[in-house]
Amino acid sequence: MAQQQQKISLTRYLVEKQRADGLIPGQLRLLLEVVARACKSISQAVNKGALGGVLGTAESENVQGEIQKKLDIIANEVLIEANEWGGHLAAMASEEMDSIYVVPNRYPQGEYLLMFDPLDGSSNIDVNVSIGTIFSVLKKPDDTPGVQEADFLQAGTQQVAAGYCIYGPQTTLVLTVGNGVDMFTLDREQGSFVLTQQDIQIPADTKEFAINMSNQRHWDEPMKRYIDECLAGKEGPRGKDFNMRWIASMVADVHRILMRGGVFMYPWDKREPEKAGKLRLMYEANPMSWLVEQAGGAATNGKQRILDLKPTKLHERVSVMLGSRNEVERLTQYHAEKA
Ligand code: AHM
Ligand code: MG
Protein backbone atom coordinates (compact mmCIF):
# COMPACT_ATOMS: atom_id res chain seq x y z
CA MET A 1 0.00 0.00 0.00
CA ALA A 2 1.36 3.40 -0.95
CA GLN A 3 2.34 5.38 2.09
CA GLN A 4 0.04 8.33 2.61
CA GLN A 5 1.92 11.60 2.51
CA GLN A 6 1.77 13.35 5.83
CA LYS A 7 0.04 16.68 5.80
CA ILE A 8 1.79 19.56 7.54
CA SER A 9 -0.63 21.97 9.16
CA LEU A 10 0.14 25.66 9.56
CA THR A 11 0.39 25.09 13.34
CA ARG A 12 3.02 22.38 12.93
CA TYR A 13 4.90 24.43 10.33
CA LEU A 14 5.07 27.40 12.71
CA VAL A 15 6.13 25.29 15.69
CA GLU A 16 8.87 23.60 13.65
CA LYS A 17 10.09 26.90 12.24
CA GLN A 18 10.24 28.35 15.73
CA ARG A 19 12.25 25.36 16.91
CA ALA A 20 14.53 25.01 13.93
CA ASP A 21 15.83 28.48 13.29
CA GLY A 22 14.26 30.67 15.94
CA LEU A 23 12.76 32.79 13.17
CA ILE A 24 9.40 32.88 14.85
CA PRO A 25 9.34 33.95 18.49
CA GLY A 26 6.36 32.76 20.57
CA GLN A 27 4.33 35.97 20.28
CA LEU A 28 4.79 36.08 16.52
CA ARG A 29 3.72 32.46 16.20
CA LEU A 30 0.55 33.22 18.11
CA LEU A 31 -0.02 36.31 15.97
CA LEU A 32 0.26 34.34 12.72
CA GLU A 33 -2.05 31.62 14.00
CA VAL A 34 -4.61 34.20 15.03
CA VAL A 35 -4.43 35.99 11.66
CA ALA A 36 -4.90 32.64 9.91
CA ARG A 37 -7.89 31.85 12.13
CA ALA A 38 -9.42 35.24 11.30
CA CYS A 39 -8.86 34.56 7.58
CA LYS A 40 -10.73 31.26 7.93
CA SER A 41 -13.64 33.12 9.41
CA ILE A 42 -13.54 35.78 6.65
CA SER A 43 -13.40 32.98 4.09
CA GLN A 44 -16.62 31.55 5.59
CA ALA A 45 -18.38 34.90 5.32
CA VAL A 46 -17.15 35.43 1.74
CA ASN A 47 -18.33 31.94 0.81
CA LYS A 48 -21.84 32.48 2.08
CA GLY A 49 -22.27 35.57 -0.09
CA ALA A 50 -25.93 36.44 -0.63
CA LEU A 51 -27.00 33.58 1.69
CA GLY A 52 -25.26 35.31 4.58
CA GLY A 53 -26.65 38.74 3.67
CA VAL A 54 -23.09 40.05 3.44
CA LEU A 55 -23.05 41.44 -0.11
CA GLY A 56 -23.61 45.07 -1.10
CA THR A 57 -22.45 48.39 0.27
CA ALA A 58 -22.59 49.67 3.81
CA GLU A 59 -23.68 53.24 4.30
CA SER A 60 -20.21 54.50 5.16
CA GLU A 61 -16.94 55.72 3.68
CA ASN A 62 -13.42 54.89 4.82
CA VAL A 63 -10.61 57.39 5.39
CA GLN A 64 -9.68 57.21 1.70
CA GLY A 65 -13.18 58.44 0.79
CA GLU A 66 -14.14 55.04 -0.65
CA ILE A 67 -17.59 53.58 -0.10
CA GLN A 68 -17.25 50.58 2.18
CA LYS A 69 -18.77 47.22 1.36
CA LYS A 70 -20.47 45.22 4.11
CA LEU A 71 -17.74 42.59 3.83
CA ASP A 72 -14.99 45.24 4.19
CA ILE A 73 -16.43 46.10 7.60
CA ILE A 74 -17.07 42.49 8.64
CA ALA A 75 -13.51 41.45 7.70
CA ASN A 76 -12.07 44.41 9.61
CA GLU A 77 -14.06 43.50 12.74
CA VAL A 78 -13.10 39.83 12.51
CA LEU A 79 -9.40 40.72 12.39
CA ILE A 80 -9.63 43.13 15.31
CA GLU A 81 -11.70 40.86 17.54
CA ALA A 82 -9.44 37.89 16.86
CA ASN A 83 -6.25 39.82 17.57
CA GLU A 84 -6.96 42.21 20.43
CA TRP A 85 -6.98 39.85 23.43
CA GLY A 86 -4.05 37.49 22.83
CA GLY A 87 -1.34 39.68 24.35
CA HIS A 88 0.82 39.58 21.21
CA LEU A 89 -0.03 43.02 19.86
CA ALA A 90 0.44 46.63 20.92
CA ALA A 91 -1.77 48.07 18.16
CA MET A 92 -3.32 47.50 14.75
CA ALA A 93 -3.90 49.66 11.68
CA SER A 94 -6.22 49.00 8.78
CA GLU A 95 -7.25 50.42 5.43
CA GLU A 96 -10.73 50.65 6.88
CA MET A 97 -9.85 52.71 9.99
CA ASP A 98 -8.75 56.36 10.08
CA SER A 99 -6.29 55.94 12.93
CA ILE A 100 -4.48 53.18 14.73
CA TYR A 101 -6.35 50.82 17.05
CA VAL A 102 -4.48 50.47 20.32
CA VAL A 103 -5.10 47.21 22.20
CA PRO A 104 -7.55 48.13 25.01
CA ASN A 105 -6.23 48.40 28.58
CA ARG A 106 -8.16 45.36 29.73
CA TYR A 107 -5.84 43.14 27.67
CA PRO A 108 -2.08 42.66 27.97
CA GLN A 109 0.00 44.56 25.42
CA GLY A 110 2.45 42.68 23.20
CA GLU A 111 5.44 43.79 21.20
CA TYR A 112 4.05 43.63 17.65
CA LEU A 113 2.16 45.96 15.36
CA LEU A 114 -0.24 44.48 12.82
CA MET A 115 -1.42 46.24 9.67
CA PHE A 116 -3.96 44.95 7.20
CA ASP A 117 -6.17 45.54 4.25
CA PRO A 118 -9.00 43.35 5.53
CA LEU A 119 -10.54 42.76 2.12
CA ASP A 120 -8.56 43.86 -0.89
CA GLY A 121 -10.23 44.06 -4.29
CA SER A 122 -13.54 45.24 -2.84
CA SER A 123 -14.97 45.98 -6.27
CA ASN A 124 -14.94 42.21 -6.90
CA ILE A 125 -16.94 41.18 -3.82
CA ASP A 126 -20.40 41.41 -5.32
CA VAL A 127 -19.40 39.81 -8.62
CA ASN A 128 -17.91 36.64 -7.11
CA VAL A 129 -14.33 37.22 -8.22
CA SER A 130 -11.27 36.52 -6.05
CA ILE A 131 -10.53 38.92 -3.19
CA GLY A 132 -8.16 38.67 -0.25
CA THR A 133 -6.75 39.86 3.05
CA ILE A 134 -3.24 41.40 3.07
CA PHE A 135 -1.22 41.79 6.28
CA SER A 136 2.12 43.11 7.46
CA VAL A 137 3.76 42.76 10.88
CA LEU A 138 6.27 45.14 12.47
CA LYS A 139 7.89 45.26 15.88
CA LYS A 140 6.98 48.19 18.06
CA PRO A 141 10.11 50.27 18.68
CA ASP A 142 10.87 49.66 22.35
CA ASP A 143 12.31 53.09 23.06
CA THR A 144 8.89 54.77 23.20
CA PRO A 145 6.30 54.48 25.97
CA GLY A 146 2.74 53.63 24.88
CA VAL A 147 2.03 53.32 21.19
CA GLN A 148 1.37 55.93 18.53
CA GLU A 149 1.02 56.23 14.79
CA ALA A 150 4.69 57.18 14.48
CA ASP A 151 5.63 53.68 15.70
CA PHE A 152 4.08 52.25 12.52
CA LEU A 153 6.04 54.51 10.16
CA GLN A 154 8.86 52.06 9.51
CA ALA A 155 10.27 51.10 6.13
CA GLY A 156 9.12 47.80 4.60
CA THR A 157 12.56 46.31 5.26
CA GLN A 158 11.60 46.26 8.96
CA GLN A 159 8.70 43.84 8.47
CA VAL A 160 9.02 40.64 10.50
CA ALA A 161 6.19 38.78 8.76
CA ALA A 162 3.90 39.45 5.82
CA GLY A 163 1.34 37.59 3.81
CA TYR A 164 -2.07 37.41 2.27
CA CYS A 165 -5.01 35.08 2.17
CA ILE A 166 -6.82 34.78 -1.14
CA TYR A 167 -10.49 33.83 -1.25
CA GLY A 168 -10.80 32.26 -4.66
CA PRO A 169 -11.71 28.82 -5.97
CA GLN A 170 -9.48 27.74 -3.07
CA THR A 171 -8.69 29.69 0.08
CA THR A 172 -4.92 30.01 0.17
CA LEU A 173 -2.59 31.63 2.69
CA VAL A 174 0.82 32.82 1.49
CA LEU A 175 3.39 33.76 4.08
CA THR A 176 6.93 34.99 4.60
CA VAL A 177 8.91 35.51 7.79
CA GLY A 178 12.02 36.44 5.84
CA ASN A 179 13.34 33.12 4.60
CA GLY A 180 11.35 32.39 1.49
CA VAL A 181 7.66 32.19 0.68
CA ASP A 182 5.43 29.25 1.59
CA MET A 183 1.83 28.52 0.74
CA PHE A 184 -1.01 26.83 2.65
CA THR A 185 -4.39 25.71 1.34
CA LEU A 186 -7.46 25.67 3.57
CA ASP A 187 -8.71 22.12 4.08
CA ARG A 188 -12.37 22.79 4.81
CA GLU A 189 -13.03 19.28 6.10
CA GLN A 190 -10.26 19.53 8.68
CA GLY A 191 -10.74 23.26 9.24
CA SER A 192 -7.01 23.89 9.00
CA PHE A 193 -4.45 25.37 6.61
CA VAL A 194 -2.18 22.71 5.10
CA LEU A 195 1.27 23.38 3.63
CA THR A 196 0.94 22.89 -0.15
CA GLN A 197 3.97 24.68 -1.64
CA GLN A 198 7.35 25.67 -0.27
CA ASP A 199 9.96 28.14 -1.38
CA ILE A 200 7.93 29.71 -4.19
CA GLN A 201 10.11 31.26 -6.91
CA ILE A 202 9.09 33.85 -9.49
CA PRO A 203 10.80 33.33 -12.86
CA ALA A 204 13.06 36.29 -13.73
CA ASP A 205 11.55 36.61 -17.23
CA THR A 206 7.93 36.72 -18.26
CA LYS A 207 5.57 37.35 -21.18
CA GLU A 208 2.65 38.48 -19.03
CA PHE A 209 1.81 41.91 -17.64
CA ALA A 210 -1.00 43.23 -15.45
CA ILE A 211 -2.13 46.85 -15.57
CA ASN A 212 -5.43 48.71 -15.86
CA MET A 213 -5.14 49.71 -19.53
CA SER A 214 -8.05 52.14 -19.29
CA ASN A 215 -5.65 54.57 -17.58
CA GLN A 216 -3.13 54.49 -20.42
CA ARG A 217 -3.65 58.09 -21.52
CA HIS A 218 -2.89 59.29 -17.99
CA TRP A 219 0.46 57.53 -17.54
CA ASP A 220 3.86 59.18 -17.75
CA GLU A 221 6.35 58.51 -20.56
CA PRO A 222 8.35 55.56 -19.13
CA MET A 223 5.14 53.67 -18.34
CA LYS A 224 3.73 54.32 -21.82
CA ARG A 225 6.99 53.23 -23.41
CA TYR A 226 7.11 49.97 -21.45
CA ILE A 227 3.54 48.97 -22.31
CA ASP A 228 3.80 50.12 -25.96
CA GLU A 229 6.82 47.86 -26.35
CA CYS A 230 4.97 44.90 -24.79
CA LEU A 231 1.99 45.51 -27.07
CA ALA A 232 4.24 45.68 -30.16
CA GLY A 233 4.90 41.97 -29.60
CA LYS A 234 7.18 39.88 -31.83
CA GLU A 235 7.62 42.68 -34.36
CA GLY A 236 8.56 45.24 -31.70
CA PRO A 237 11.77 45.88 -29.73
CA ARG A 238 10.97 43.11 -27.20
CA GLY A 239 10.79 40.48 -29.95
CA LYS A 240 8.09 38.47 -28.21
CA ASP A 241 4.32 38.50 -27.80
CA PHE A 242 2.93 39.46 -24.40
CA ASN A 243 -0.27 38.36 -22.69
CA MET A 244 -2.30 40.60 -20.36
CA ARG A 245 -4.34 39.96 -17.20
CA TRP A 246 -6.08 42.42 -14.86
CA ILE A 247 -8.23 41.03 -12.07
CA ALA A 248 -8.58 44.32 -10.16
CA SER A 249 -7.68 42.43 -6.97
CA MET A 250 -4.04 43.00 -6.18
CA VAL A 251 -4.08 39.81 -4.13
CA ALA A 252 -5.22 37.74 -7.11
CA ASP A 253 -2.82 39.43 -9.55
CA VAL A 254 0.13 38.99 -7.18
CA HIS A 255 -0.87 35.39 -6.49
CA ARG A 256 -0.75 34.64 -10.22
CA ILE A 257 2.70 36.23 -10.41
CA LEU A 258 3.95 34.08 -7.51
CA MET A 259 2.57 30.99 -9.24
CA ARG A 260 3.79 31.59 -12.81
CA GLY A 261 5.60 34.92 -13.08
CA GLY A 262 4.54 38.23 -14.57
CA VAL A 263 4.68 41.91 -13.75
CA PHE A 264 2.01 43.93 -11.93
CA MET A 265 1.80 47.71 -12.24
CA TYR A 266 -0.37 50.34 -10.62
CA PRO A 267 1.69 53.42 -11.46
CA TRP A 268 1.24 57.07 -10.57
CA ASP A 269 -0.98 58.76 -13.15
CA LYS A 270 -2.30 62.19 -14.07
CA ARG A 271 -5.86 61.66 -12.88
CA GLU A 272 -4.90 62.74 -9.37
CA PRO A 273 -1.32 63.96 -9.83
CA GLU A 274 -0.93 64.97 -6.19
CA LYS A 275 -1.31 61.32 -5.12
CA ALA A 276 1.74 59.08 -5.45
CA GLY A 277 -0.47 56.24 -6.70
CA LYS A 278 -3.65 54.37 -5.86
CA LEU A 279 -2.31 51.58 -3.68
CA ARG A 280 -1.35 52.04 -0.07
CA LEU A 281 2.26 51.62 0.99
CA MET A 282 2.02 50.15 4.45
CA TYR A 283 -0.59 47.41 4.19
CA GLU A 284 -0.67 46.70 0.43
CA ALA A 285 2.62 47.52 -1.30
CA ASN A 286 5.05 46.68 1.52
CA PRO A 287 3.80 43.18 2.34
CA MET A 288 3.38 42.30 -1.35
CA SER A 289 6.83 43.71 -2.22
CA TRP A 290 8.47 41.68 0.51
CA LEU A 291 6.73 38.48 -0.59
CA VAL A 292 7.78 39.13 -4.19
CA GLU A 293 11.40 39.84 -3.22
CA GLN A 294 11.47 36.76 -1.00
CA ALA A 295 10.38 34.76 -4.05
CA GLY A 296 13.23 36.16 -6.15
CA GLY A 297 11.30 39.02 -7.78
CA ALA A 298 11.61 42.79 -7.37
CA ALA A 299 9.40 45.75 -6.47
CA THR A 300 9.87 49.45 -7.21
CA ASN A 301 7.93 52.69 -7.43
CA GLY A 302 9.87 53.39 -10.64
CA LYS A 303 12.66 55.24 -8.87
CA GLN A 304 13.28 53.41 -5.64
CA ARG A 305 12.90 49.98 -4.10
CA ILE A 306 9.51 50.05 -2.37
CA LEU A 307 10.83 48.37 0.79
CA ASP A 308 13.30 51.23 1.32
CA LEU A 309 10.66 53.97 1.33
CA LYS A 310 10.27 55.68 4.70
CA PRO A 311 6.53 56.21 5.26
CA THR A 312 5.37 59.61 6.44
CA LYS A 313 1.77 58.67 7.21
CA LEU A 314 -0.31 55.58 7.84
CA HIS A 315 -2.41 55.71 4.70
CA GLU A 316 0.37 56.85 2.37
CA ARG A 317 -0.02 55.88 -1.29
CA VAL A 318 2.64 54.66 -3.65
CA SER A 319 3.26 53.84 -7.29
CA VAL A 320 3.77 50.06 -7.61
CA MET A 321 5.63 47.90 -10.14
CA LEU A 322 6.46 44.39 -9.00
CA GLY A 323 7.07 40.84 -10.16
CA SER A 324 9.56 39.13 -12.46
CA ARG A 325 12.95 40.66 -11.78
CA ASN A 326 14.10 41.46 -15.31
CA GLU A 327 10.88 43.29 -16.16
CA VAL A 328 11.02 45.36 -12.97
CA GLU A 329 14.65 46.22 -13.76
CA ARG A 330 13.63 47.32 -17.25
CA LEU A 331 10.89 49.54 -15.80
CA THR A 332 13.41 51.07 -13.40
CA GLN A 333 15.81 51.69 -16.28
CA TYR A 334 13.11 53.43 -18.39
CA HIS A 335 12.28 55.69 -15.45
CA ALA A 336 15.96 56.49 -14.88
CA GLU A 337 16.51 57.31 -18.58
CA LYS A 338 13.58 59.75 -18.50
CA ALA A 339 14.86 61.40 -15.31
P1 AHM B 1 -9.18 48.37 -2.52
O2 AHM B 1 -8.17 48.13 -1.43
O3 AHM B 1 -10.07 49.52 -2.21
O4 AHM B 1 -9.91 47.14 -2.92
O5 AHM B 1 -8.33 48.90 -3.80
C6 AHM B 1 -7.19 48.22 -4.21
C7 AHM B 1 -7.46 47.49 -5.50
C8 AHM B 1 -6.37 46.52 -5.85
O9 AHM B 1 -6.66 45.27 -5.31
C10 AHM B 1 -6.42 46.50 -7.34
O11 AHM B 1 -5.18 46.17 -7.92
C12 AHM B 1 -6.82 47.90 -7.71
O13 AHM B 1 -7.48 48.42 -6.56
C14 AHM B 1 -7.78 47.94 -8.86
O15 AHM B 1 -8.04 49.26 -9.17
P16 AHM B 1 -8.84 49.69 -10.49
O17 AHM B 1 -10.28 49.40 -10.21
O18 AHM B 1 -8.54 51.16 -10.60
O19 AHM B 1 -8.31 48.90 -11.64
MG1 MG C 1 -6.80 47.20 -0.90
The alpha carbon of residue 151 and the mean position of all alpha carbons in its chain are separated, in whole angstroms, by: 20
Q: What pLDDT is recorded for position 1?
A: 47
Q: For 77-94, how does the pLDDT look when each residue is reduced to its tens digit (9 = 90+)?
A: 999 999 999 999 999 999
Cα 135 to middle of ligand 2, angstroms? 11
Q: Which atom of ligand 1 is nearest to the CA of 279?
A: 6
Query: Among all ligands shown, which has an atom nearest to the Cα of 278?
Result: 1
Query: Among all ligands shown, which has an atom nearest to the Cα of 267?
Result: 1
Residue 212 in contact with ligand 1 by CB distance below 6 A: yes
> What are the chain's domains?
2-197 (3.30.540.10), 208-338 (3.40.190.80)
Residue 210 in contact with ligand 1 by CB distance below 6 A: no
Q: What are phi and psi of 45, to 5 degrees?
A: -65, -45
Residue 196's SS3 state is strand
Cα 278 to middle of ligand 2, angstroms? 9
Q: For 201-212, how does the pLDDT look when each residue is reduced to its tens digit (9 = 90+)?
A: 999 999 999 999
- Provide the H-helix boundaries in the chain: 10-21, 26-48, 70-83, 149-152, 221-231, 250-260, 286-294, 325-338
pLDDT at residue 119 is higher than 70:
yes
Cα 299 from Cα 324, distance rounded (Å): 9
Cα 261 from Cα 206, distance rounded (Å): 6
Q: What CA–CA distances, in Å, run from 41 to 75, 77, 114?
A: 9, 11, 18
Q: Which atom of ligand 1 is nearest to the CA of 252?
A: 9
pLDDT at residue 61 is higher than 90:
no
Residue 172 in contact with ligand 1 by CB distance below 6 A: no
Average pLDDT over residues 8-27: 90
Strands (E), 103-191: 112-120, 131-139, 161-167, 171-176, 182-187
Q: What pLDDT is recorded for position 63?
A: 73
Residue 68 in contact with ligand 1 by CB distance below 6 A: no
Cα 119 to middle of ligand 2, angstroms? 7
Cα 117 to middle of ligand 2, angstroms? 5
Residue 208 in contact with ligand 1 by CB distance below 6 A: no
Q: What CA–CA distances, in Å, run from 278 to 179, 248, 271, 282, 324?
A: 29, 12, 10, 12, 21
Q: What pLDDT is recorded for position 158?
A: 98
